Copies of this chain bind each other. A is one copy, B any other.
Amino acid sequence: MKTDIKKICRKAKEASRRLAILDNGAKNAALRAMADALSRESSYIASENSKDIEKAEKSGLSRVLIDRLRLMPSRIGDMADSLLEIAKLRDPVGDLLETIKRPNGLVIEKVRVPIGVILIIYESRPNVTSDCAGLCLKSGNAVILRGGKEAINSNVAIFNVLNKAALRCGLPEGAITMIDNPDRKVMEELLAQSDFIDLAMPRGGEALIKYVTEKARIPVIKHYKGVCHTYVDRSADLKMAEDICFNAKVQRPGVCNAMETLLVHEKIARKFLPGMIKRYEASGVEIRGSKEVKSISPGVNLAKEEDWHTEYLDLILSVKTVKNVDEAISHIMKYGSYHSDAIITGDKNAQAKFLKEVDSACVYVNASTRFTDGGEFGKGAEIGISTDKIHARGPMGIEELTSYKYLIYGSGQVRR
């Protein structure tokens, strides 16, 4: 099957011009119609989804991955609810960000505009299809969706339902596009469409991100791994530290904002670690400690160098003692992924140093790294967590899906 990528992308670009000037009411009406349609077509989506599940079971996919794929009625309901939530968000397009008045009489307005055409490349979870379509529409962008082949039937079903509803509401063809050809050549061609696509966002494993970064001729914002740290300072309230460290690792270990490495000030390690490790082990967490940690709690495994780099996404935790806040910061900057890192401390100087010198998207004091999330930040739904420093960092909500332009009002000014 031949897919005419250039034609598809040109259509998306044309649609983006119309979406950019659509008013909030029209966008919300479409979002509500899309939510309705998901609920109405729930059994069609579920039956298409069962094809993916069957294939996944045959091919021996892990239980965790099959669970991610599965669309029960409640999950389809959640997708619909998310679209309704997105409709309720404030429309950021047209925001006046700055006004500059120049001595020559020129008035310069910086106003928020959509980015244009956004390409989302993602793996497994089919709800990404509907979330990304909703967020891109609300922010006035056309979206091109390219999901993983293991969820292809589910993704196409969701797309069909959403797209029909959108077209019925008068949205232009090309506002939402699904690429159903799983060929890598097609993805490569997509990533070269710099005339038509303004931004690519890969969401998935390390291999996918690397592939996209290598092939892309268009700007990319990465949703990369989270090797998140918590550093328990000498001055920490140890009860608070224990609760936060437990939460950051155990509450939902499979997500990017979960803690992967615990750093503990050496002067409190003997007091803090035995109880903490006991609590972890009682919840099934495997501890991989440095030599010093093993000398305190001999039962733990010894960490290897690669452990400090690893995003486990599982009930595994690497633990190390450090001399002071400086060593903690150095460790985080050397091994971390600049996603979310926390200090637990009662010392204002250590706190200030940590906040200033840890260059991560989200730097916490006395709280769990698990709060790095669009909803928890009060931004509403998010399209991902940027681990890049260009354009957007941390949770990306609809404001982060916009750009700006300058409108310059003159009365005949010429340059001297």
Q: Is the CB of B219 within 8 A of A364?
A: no
Within 8 A of B (CB), among A38-74: none
A219 in contact with B405 given A410-B364, A410-B365 (CB within 8 Å)? no
In the bound complex, residues from chain B placing their C-beta under 8 Å from that of A194 are: 213
From the candidates B220, B377, B404, B408, name the one contacting A108 in the complex (CB within 8 A): B377
| Shortest Cβ gap from A96 to chain B (Å) | 13
In the bound complex, residues from chain B placing their C-beta under 8 Å from that of A106 are: 367, 371, 376
Q: Is the CB of B214 within 8 A of A217?
A: yes
Among the listed stretches A78-86, A182-190, A388-396, which one makes contact with chain B, having 4 or more residues with CB under 8 Å of it? A388-396
Give the oligomeric copy count. 2
Q: Is the CB of B407 within 8 A of A355?
A: yes
Q: Considering the complex, give the chain B residue whose CB is closest to the CB of A221.
A: B390
Does chain B have a CB within 8 A of A116?
A: yes
Does chain B have a CB within 8 A of A381?
A: no
Does chain B have a CB within 8 A of A327?
A: no
Interface size class of A (residues with CB under 8 A): 35 or more
Does chain B have a CB within 8 A of A100?
A: yes
Chain A facing B: main interface SS? mixed
Inter-chain CA distance A363–B413, complex, in Å, is: 14
In the bound complex, residues from chain B placing their C-beta under 8 Å from that of A20 are: 359
Q: Is the CB of B393 within 8 A of A405?
A: yes
From the candidates B237, B361, B414, name the one contacting A244 in the complex (CB within 8 A): B414
Q: Is the CB of A390 within 8 A of B391?
A: yes
The interface of chain A, by Cβ under 8 A from chain B, is 17, 20-21, 100, 102, 106, 108, 113, 115-116, 194, 198-199, 213-214, 217, 219-221, 237, 240, 243-244, 246-248, 251-252, 333, 355-357, 359-368, 370-371, 376-378, 388-391, 393-394, 403-416
Beyond A219-B220, A363-B408, A367-B410, 12 additional pairs, beta carbon < 8 A: A21-B356, A102-B378, A240-B412, A243-B412, A247-B415, A248-B414, A360-B405, A365-B407, A366-B409, A366-B413, A368-B413, A394-B405
Could you list 10 examples of A-B contacts with CB < 8 Å? A100-B378, A108-B378, A246-B414, A251-B415, A363-B406, A366-B411, A367-B411, A371-B415, A390-B391, A390-B403
